[in-house]
């Protein structure tokens, strides 16, 4: 049996880490210390957001679809509340907000493209 969450994690983590790392390095060069911490925070937020989703998917794959939906909805709500708390905490720091947003968006895009490529590979393998 194929472990779908593991397949998607392997396919998505490398592009996300690469793009997030390059974005963090670029932010460090351009904006200095505040850019470095902005890129690092963005990379952490995006990776945690998507990894939690994959963990929920791995945990609930044998459950009833309605129960799975309840777990996913609860995890989404929890992630939103956690994200809001993280953003409030970050607002009290001196990180470079534009670099945070840019690295977060680029890392999320890298993750999603990696997942799509993993899915294409899965479909072709069948």
What letter would DSSP give residue 96? -
**Whole domain around residue 39: which residue ranges?**
4-125
pTM: 0.84
Burial 49-60 (b: 16+ CB within 10 A, else e): bbbebbebbeeb
**Which tokens go with 66?**
């309605």
Helices (H), the chain: 4-31, 33-60, 65-91, 97-125
Q: What is the mean pLDDT of residues 94-112?
A: 95
pLDDT for the residue numbered 70: 87
What would the pLDDT profile of 48-92 be if each residue is shown by its tens digit? Answer: 888 888 888 778 878 888 888 888 888 889 888 988 998 899 888
Domain total in the chain: 1
């Amino acid at each position: 049996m194929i472990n779908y969450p593991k397949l998607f994690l392997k396919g998505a983590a490398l592009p996300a880490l690469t793009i997030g790392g390059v974005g963090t390095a670029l932010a460090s060069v351009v904006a200095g210390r505040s850019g470095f911490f902005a890129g690092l925070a963005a990379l952490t937020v995006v990776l945690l957001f998507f990894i939690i989703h994959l963990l929920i998917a791995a945990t609930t794959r044998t459950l009833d679809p309605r129960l799975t939906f309840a777990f996913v909805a609860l995890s989404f709500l929890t992630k939103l509340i956690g994200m809001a708390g993280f953003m409030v905490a970050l607002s009290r720091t001196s990180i470079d907000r534009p670099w945070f947003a840019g690295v977060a968006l680029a890392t999320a895009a890298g993750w999603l493209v990696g997942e799509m490529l993993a899915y294409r590979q899965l479909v072709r393998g069948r």
